[in-house]
Amino acid sequence: MTKKYSGYDPAVELAKGAELTAASYDKTQGIIISVGKVTVGGKPGVAEISGLATGKQAAGIDGTINLWLSIFRYKRPDGTTNHVAGWNIPLSLKPGQTPIETAAAFAAYINAGTRPYKAKADALKDRAALAITYTG
């Protein structure tokens, strides 16, 4: 006898996802989060990068930009719970690095990783956008 799981609500579970946060430790290149959640249902989180980078001059955190995707859990239709690990992604900047170069470097790193995320970099008028989608 199989037991049918009845506690699954697709709208609730597909809205769950990783919180996207970021910080710039560069003097001249900044990052803001315009869409702060990467959902199971496929809505991307978006970070916008602006300014030319001063870049990494010595050891330490100065001259870097960091992205964080939080841990989260969601239920599958069969009633099991999927646990998704968080991810800290630091990127050292080169002097004069443009926003699109930074976004493309983040996208290449994310897409090459084994985590359930994919990213796409787009050039905007005076900045770049990095869209991150959950693919699990």
Residue 4: what pLDDT? Answer: 55
Is residue 5 included in any domain, yes or no? no
The widest CA-to-CA distance across the chain, in whole angstroms, is 65
Residue 2 within any structural domain of the chain: no
* pLDDT attached to residue 28: 97
On whether residue 98 sits in a domain, the answer given is yes
**Domain extent for 21:** 10-134
Alpha-carbon distance values, 130 to 14, 63, 90, 95, 97 (Å)? 21, 19, 14, 20, 15
Residue 103 maps to a domain: yes
Q: CA–CA distance from 92 to each of 2, 34, 45 (Å)? A: 53, 22, 21
Kindly state the DSSP code that residue 5 receives in the 8-state scheme: P
Domain count, the chain: 1
Asked if residue 80 belongs to a domain, the reply is: yes
In tens digits, what is the pLDDT along the chain, a chain of 136 residues? Answer: 455 556 788 899 999 999 999 999 999 999 999 999 999 999 999 999 999 999 998 899 999 999 999 999 999 988 899 999 999 999 999 999 999 999 999 999 999 999 999 999 999 999 999 999 999 8
> Does residue 3 sit within a domain?
no
